[in-house]
Amino acid sequence: MLPVVALVGRPNVGKSTLFNALTRSRDALVADMPGVTRDRHYGVCHLGARPFVVVDTGGLSGVEEGIDALTAQQVRLAIDEAQLLVFVVDARDGLLPQDQGILGELRRSGKPILLAVNKTDGLDVPQALAEFARFGLAATLPLSAAHNRGTEDLVAAALPLLPPDEDEPPEHVEDDSIRVAIVGRPNAGKSTLINRLLGENRLIVSDLAGTTRDPIRVPLERDGKRYTLIDTAGVRRKARVEEGVEKFSVIKTLQSMAAAQVVVLMIDARENLADQDLTLIGHAVEEGRALVIAVNKWDGMDSYQREQCQRTLERKLVFVDWAKTVFISALHGSGLRELMRAVVRAHASATHPLGSADLTRTLEKAYEAYQPPLVRGHAPKLRFAHPGGANPPTIVIHGSRTKHIAPAYRRYLENFFRKRYKLEGTPIRIEFRDGE
């Protein structure tokens, strides 16, 4: 399960700049998709050997409002769920009383704290750090988030402070089942769907051991296919493990997505598509997950309402037009066969084996049909391609001047490859490399 790191500190110290530096997409998968919403507060950092969730807790004002600010729900939730707190201070402001106040609150949590002294660009670094030595924090690092200096060191310092990566239970290592995360806003119908899927198959939810923090994995067999449902809320409710009132947690959603191969995003057909839905789609895409959109509560809607709903979705979800939209009623069990077929299809696309020779031939065809615009009289050259991984299918293209390739051309190539290999339900990652 992905560990969680929370960035805390006064407003304006550079937390969101640091957040962006830590979570920027490896290859602009999202940047290339106009319309996709990037979450400003939650992301996954892939800069180190082990990915982790990063939460930007926003500004805490410190002493005067210290406790009030800290009881703000999202901040508290983030600090509660975090395994490491990165306390960001501003080297230019020096040590302020508010910083002391915030540190006091952080210490009370008993969690490890890493001090990031930001904005050290143009300053005498040892001197800048010396001022904060009074905090008595062993782990202190200079940083210039705006210039992306010190971020890799920060990640390197953070990783050993995280709880050890527990090995996956062995049955999951050899497992050939499709790992599916069912995510969505509260009330979309996630637990109804999961109960339906499990109930119909009279599957016994047997081993729900583990702490309440872990996403639960439940095996499911249907039409001869094996799945592992990864869920944090729905399954647990079925098993009647009391957990109090459930709060929607982006962190848990991100953790489920990370553990899955295919994400089923559930939306309620009777509600408008919310920013939060788009943000969840953004997360799934950014993590390269295969995606199926399940529009639930399709029962009891008349044909006019259905048409309106379909049209709105088509318009708002153009940026993931490769993802299949399935209309279901979790309550009545309709559309579930189609849903699971879409999951299997998306998984097959996401893990479709690609060969270098064929990729290169396809690249040549795409290049012949349409070349990237000239850059100062020279055309970027694309020479050959090879596979760079699955889930998402990754295509590495070697050439020259590839930095100048515009997002529109990248999308053209993506669509070309998508058609050639009939890749449905998965994002495709294209990486350009210059030289050779």
Counting contacts by CB under 6 A, is residue 16 touching ligand GDP? Answer: yes
Nearer to ligand GDP, 54 or 350 (CB): 54
Report H helices in 351-427. Answer: 356-369, 407-420
The answer to whether 119 is a known ligand-binding residue is yes
d(C-alpha 237, C-alpha 232), whole Å: 9
| β-bridge mates for residue 324, sequence order | 292
Helix axes 73-81, 250-259, angle to 10 degrees: 40
Instruction: Mark the segment that binds ligand GDP (CB under 6 A) among 8-16, 69-77, 221-229, 306-314.
Output: 8-16
Q: Are 22 and 151 in contact (CB under 8 A)?
A: yes
Nearer to ligand GDP, 50 or 270 (CB): 270
CA–CA distances in Å: residue 292 to residues 260, 332, 339, 342, 346:
13, 20, 8, 7, 7
d(C-alpha 399, C-alpha 433), whole Å: 6
Nearer to ligand GDP, 59 or 66 (CB): 59
State the chain's maximal CA–CA distance in angstroms. Answer: 70
The answer to whether 322 is a known ligand-binding residue is no
Counting contacts by CB under 6 A, is residue 391 touching ligand GDP? Answer: no
Least spacing, CB of residue 321 vs ligand GDP, in Å = 25
Amino acid at 183: V
Nearer to ligand GDP, 300 or 373 (CB): 300
Instruction: Mark the segment that binds ligand GDP (CB under 6 A) among 101-109, 186-194, 375-383, 384-392.
Output: 186-194
Amino acid at 407: P
Nearer to ligand GDP, 278 or 330 (CB): 330
Least spacing, CB of residue 146 vs ligand GDP, in Å = 3
Q: Please, what is the end-to-end C-alpha distance for the chain in angstroms?
A: 39
Counting contacts by CB under 6 A, is residue 142 touching ligand GDP? Answer: no
The answer to whether 11 is a known ligand-binding residue is yes
Counting contacts by CB under 6 A, is residue 17 touching ligand GDP? Answer: yes
Mask of contacts with ligand GDP, 92-131, x by CB under 6 A?
Answer: --------------------------xx-x----------
Query: Site size for ligand GDP, by CB under 6 A?
Result: 33
Ramachandran region of residue 147, left (φ > 0), alpha (ψ -120 to 50) or beta? alpha
Counting contacts by CB under 6 A, is residue 146 touching ligand GDP? Answer: yes
Q: Which of 11, 34, 104, 407 binds ligand GDP (CB under 6 A)?
A: 11
Residue 126 parent element (H or E): helix 125-131
Q: Are 284 and 261 in contact (CB under 8 A)?
A: no
Least spacing, CB of residue 339 vs ligand GDP, in Å = 12
Nearer to ligand GDP, 33 or 188 (CB): 188
The C-alpha angle 132, 137, 142, rounded to 5 degrees, equals 55
Q: In what order do the strands lie in the sheet with 140-142?
A: 42-45, 52-56, 4-8, 84-90, 113-118, 140-142
**Burial bucket for residue 180 (CB in 10 Å: 0-12, 13-18, 19+):** buried
Mask of contacts with ligand GDP, 311-330, x by CB under 6 A?
Answer: ------------------xx
Counting contacts by CB under 6 A, is residue 191 touching ligand GDP? Answer: yes
- Site residues for ligand GDP per CB under 6 A: 9, 11-17, 59, 118-119, 121, 144-147, 184, 186-192, 233-234, 296-297, 299-300, 329-331
Annotated binding site for GTP: 9-16, 56-60, 118-121, 184-191, 231-235, 296-299
